[in-house]
């Protein structure tokens, strides 16, 4: 494996000052190792092996757990080169090294890929404060947001503020199991100001079967990835009620419209064009037809809302996590706080169904309401 760096750092919060020299190679760490985290590591590892500007090795932080066999997940990944629990049957690349020690996994890395379920990012960031290189660049593949008393905060902003580093995002129509099998997909990198950094992320993720497009609209890209999970839950209810494709298409259209209005409510800078990128309409389509949120919401509706999402998630996903129910609650809190629930009937109804205040069939009653926003 290529440990042929011209500079090698041993202290954890390195400032990178020695790295502005010819021959510097970037080091990549992936923080998270669920199904998408493992695929992200595979994509990145393919490129670090082939691009001379990167160290070959990609560290992947694993939230450690013990498998039924008694073996640690990290040991199993390093022994088999597969994430036997979250992405079985897929070789990650021999240059992917699983590490259960978060500090060690990020040490020396100047490119950090964050890809955990969003409910865990708070603790992860807190434990990383002071541990990452001050010149590191981050990218978030996390679909979700942080909602605090003071308001909603994008995950990329949260990472940026906690760790004092810039954070871009990568979102898109990306069902992990399909990309793992190298079926063609697209994704969108959202960046703030620095096009050069965006190009580096594009280069790191692009493969012959994964086409990545940069868009200067970090908020629009990230919020699309976040909000589509709420629409996915609504689509699952429609499936569970056997309402058919026309109803589902209507729900998708209403959902996209509320996504756009919610984005613009939070950030007036969000661009309409962003909704036509992979992170927008394409992700809504794939997630509403093949995503976990939709599948579990379908089961919820088929059970008449009598089995909780937590119970169905544990049974159907075996350790994988849903984002849509939590995000639905977070969106609801933002809207309630601003007195705008009436303007977002789909989002509001999704949360009220998930929390047991309304039956799943209420999603159809919603669809009979008039258009709220001017089209
Ligand atoms: N799976 C997909 O198809 C897909 C595609 C695009 C984006 N995403 C997004 O990527 C993010 C990561 O999802 P995923 O699919 O890789 O994960 P996952 O749902 O497949 O797996 C859950 C992960 O959470 C970890 N975990 C459990 N408890 C934890 C804790 N207390 N602290 C930290 N980690 C813990 C598990 O070890 C596992 O790695 C999510 O925001 C998701 O929306 C997923
Ligand atoms: O399986 P889901 O519902 O978490 O969706 C996965 C991806 O976000 C689809 O792009």
**Confidence category of residue 10, pLDDT binned at 50, 70, 90:** very low
Of the pLDDT bands very low, low, confident and very high (cuts 50, 70, 90), residue 147 is confident
Rounded to the nearest angstrom, the distance between the alpha carbon of 367 and the centre of ligand 2 is 24
- CB 107 less than 6 A from any atom of ligand 2: no
Q: Whats the size of the chain, residue-wise?
A: 375
Per-residue model confidence (pLDDT) at position 172: 98
Averaged over 139-158, what is the pLDDT?
88
Q: Are 282 and 178 in contact (CB under 8 A)?
A: no
- Tell me: pLDDT of 374 over 50: no
Residues 257-273 have a mean pLDDT of: 96
Average pLDDT over residues 164-184: 98
pLDDT at 2 over 50: no
Q: Is 36 annotated for ligand binding?
A: yes
| CA–centroid distance, residue 32 to ligand 1 (Å) | 7
Q: What angle in degrees, to the nearest 10, is found between the helix axes of 218-240 and 292-302? A: 30
Ligand nearest to the CA of 115: 1
Whether the predicted pLDDT of 15 surpasses 90: no
Task: Report yes or no: 79 and 94 within 8 Å, Cβ to Cβ.
Answer: no
Residue 367: which pLDDT band, with cuts at 50, 70 and 90?
low
- The rounded mean pLDDT for the chain is 92
User: What's the pLDDT band for 270 if we cut at 50, 70, 90?
Assistant: very high
Closest ligand 1 atom to 86 CA: 20
Give the chain's largest Cα–Cα span.
64
Task: Confirm whether residue 136 is marked as ligand binding.
Answer: no
Cβ pair 298, 289 in contact under 8 A: no
Per-residue confidence band for 21, with pLDDT thresholds at 50, 70 and 90 = low
CB 143 within 8 A of CB 62: no
| % of residues, the chain, pLDDT over 70 | 91
Task: Give 371's DSSP letter.
Answer: P
28 backbone dihedrals φ, ψ, rounded to 5°: -110, 135
Quick: pLDDT tens for 196-253.
999 999 999 999 999 999 999 999 999 999 999 999 999 999 999 999 999 999 999 9
pLDDT tier, 67 (very low <50, low <70, confident <90, very high otherwise)? very high
CA–centroid distance, residue 18 to ligand 1 (Å):
35
pTM equals 0.94
Interface pTM, i.e. ipTM: 0.99
Judge whether 37 is annotated as a binding position: yes
- pLDDT tens-digit readout, 290-334: 999 999 999 999 999 999 999 999 999 999 999 999 999 999 999
Ligand nearest to the CA of residue 286, numbered in listed order? 2
Using N-to-C axis directions, what is the helix angle for 245-266 and 324-338, rounded to 10°? 50
Residue 295 among the catalytic residues: no
Q: How confident is the model at residue 369 (pLDDT cuts 50, 70, 90)?
A: low
Ligand 1 center–CA 14 separation, angstroms: 28
Question: Of the residues 178, 232, 279, 298, which should be mutated to test ligand 2's pocket, given the most ligand atoms within 8 Å of the CB?
Answer: 232
Q: Which of 25, 228, 248, 295 does the annotation list as catalytic?
A: 228
Counting ligands in written order, the one closest to the CA of 121 is: 1
143 is in an annotated binding site: yes
- CB-CB neighbours of 331 under 10 Å: 26
Q: Which atom number of ligand 2 is nearest to the Cα of residue 323?
A: 4
Confidence class for position 175, pLDDT limits 50, 70, 90: very high
Sheet with 185-190, side-by-side order of all strands: 96-99, 54-61, 26-31, 111-114, 137-140, 166-171, 185-190, 210-215
174 lines ligand 1 (CB under 6 A): yes
**What region does 202 belong to: left with phi over 0, alpha with psi -120 to 50, or beta?**
alpha
Q: At 11, is the pLDDT very low, low, confident or very high (cuts 50, 70, 90)?
A: very low
* Domains identified in the chain and CATH numbers: 17-216 (3.40.50.720), 220-367 (1.10.1040.10)
């Amino acid at each position: 494996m290529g440990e042929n760096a011209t500079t090698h750092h041993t202290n954890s919060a390195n400032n990178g000052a020695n790295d502005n020299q010819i021959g510097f190679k970037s080091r990549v760490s992936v923080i998270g190792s669920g199904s998408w985290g493992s695929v992200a590591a595979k994509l990145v590892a393919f490129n670090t092996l082939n691009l001379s500007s990167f160290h070959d090795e990609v560290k992947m932080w694993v939230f450690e757990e013990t498998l039924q066999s008694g073996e640690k997940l990290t040991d199993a990944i390093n022994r088999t080169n597969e994430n036997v629990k979250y992405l079985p049957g897929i070789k990650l690349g021999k240059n992917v090294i699983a590490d259960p020690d978060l500090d060690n996994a990020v040490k020396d890395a100047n490119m950090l890929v964050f890809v955990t379920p969003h409910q865990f990012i708070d603790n992860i960031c807190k434990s990383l404060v002071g541990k990452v290189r001050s010149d590191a660049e981050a990218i978030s593949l996390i679909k979700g947001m942080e909602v605090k008393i003071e308001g909603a905060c994008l995950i990329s902003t949260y990472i940026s503020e906690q760790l004092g580093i810039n954070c871009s995002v990568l979102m898109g129509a990306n069902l992990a199991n399909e990309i793992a099998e190298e079926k063609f997909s697209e994704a969108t990198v959202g960046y703030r100001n620095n096009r050069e950094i965006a190009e580096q992320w594009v280069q790191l993720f692009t493969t012959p079967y994964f086409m990545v497009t940069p868009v200067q609209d970090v908020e629009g890209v990230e919020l699309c990835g976040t909000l589509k999970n709420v629409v996915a839950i609504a689509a699952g209810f429609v499936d569970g009620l056997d309402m058919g494709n026309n109803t589902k298409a209507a729900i998708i259209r209403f959902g996209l419209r509320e996504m756009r209005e919610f984005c613009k409510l939070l950030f007036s800078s969000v661009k309409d064009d962003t909704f036509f990128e992979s992170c927008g309409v394409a992700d809504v389509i794939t997630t509403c037809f093949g995503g976990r949120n939709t599948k579990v919401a379908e089961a919820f509706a088929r059970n008449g809302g009598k089995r909780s999402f937590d119970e169905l998630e544990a049974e159907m996903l075996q350790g994988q996590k849903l984002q849509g129910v939590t995000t639905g609650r977070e969106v609801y809190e933002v809207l309630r706080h601003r007195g705008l629930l009436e303007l977002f009937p789909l989002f509001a109804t999704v949360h009220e169904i998930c929390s047991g205040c309304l039956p799943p069939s209420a999603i159809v009653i919603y669809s009979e309401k008039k258009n709220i926003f001017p089209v």
